Amino acid sequence: MSVSAHDAAVAGMFGRIAGMYDAGNRILSCGIDIYWRRVLADTVRLGPTRRVLDLAAGTLDVALAVRRRWPEATVPALDFCPPMLRRGLPKLARRAERLIFPVAADAKRLPLPDASVDCVTMAFGIRNITPRSEAFSEMLRVLVPGGRACILEFGSGRERIWGGLYNWYLRCLLPLMGRLCSGDAAAYKYLSQTIHDFPGAQELEEEMRQAGFAQAWHRRLTSGIVCLHVGEKAAS
């Protein structure tokens, strides 16, 4: 499989910060990321396969949240960065978890057959994928008819949130705190820039419709700091 320079750089960056990723999430979000993932898991809809595909699975927090909410579900958990998945393996061992299956894979080239999962989840990963249309196309391919994609992502830094306080946090405070938490200033500068450049919620909705989702909508969480985007594949 050929890997673009962008993909290789992103995978390498997340590999560097994998050891501090969970702690960084808790600190930088003041613990609210746990709530955001719970809302994501609540939005999952199971169907005939009882499978939920978690993309950009990282250290497996979303996969575990899905299993807590839907104990009957099987969760293939795919991520482009193997060190991130390895950081999540002890969590599976502690829970004696046997229905989460971590696999290193590219969201633009999923190693799954057509119509093989009921739902796709992704948390804070879609902005790192270029082009997004390829990931959306793969989601649609592997979803059963009527299946749902649930995508959690930061609100665009181009929108003023909390009177601009969020935008100041992204521009100034996030890179500094990220450097202190992880020792990798470049990684959190990248994070800040991708959030700033990410399309607004309405724009992303339109991208999902253009990619082929029959329906798409979003829900703003924490005043729009994070948005939950939902797309549904046509039922037939």
pLDDT higher than 60, residue 1: no
pLDDT digits (tens, 9 = 90+) for 32-50: 999 999 999 999 999 999 9
- What pLDDT does residue 184 have? 66
- What pLDDT does residue 233 have? 98
Please give the full DSSP string across 8-19, using - where no structure is assigned: HHHHHHHHHHGG
pLDDT higher than 80, residue 188: no
Please give the full DSSP string across 120-182, using - where no structure is assigned: EEEES-GGG-SSHHHHHHHHHHHEEEEEEEEEEEEPPTTS--GGGHHHHIIIIIHHHHHHHHH
pLDDT digits (tens, 9 = 90+) for 122-179: 999 999 999 999 999 999 999 999 999 999 998 865 666 666 677 777 676 666 666 6
Q: What is the mean pLDDT of residues 191-214?
A: 90
- What pLDDT does residue 26 have? 81
Topology of domain 5-232, CATH: Rossmann fold (3.40.50)
Task: Specify the DSSP element, H or E, that contains 228.
Answer: strand 226-232
**Is 51 strand, coil or helix?**
strand
pLDDT digits (tens, 9 = 90+) for 53-83: 999 999 999 999 999 999 999 999 999 999 9
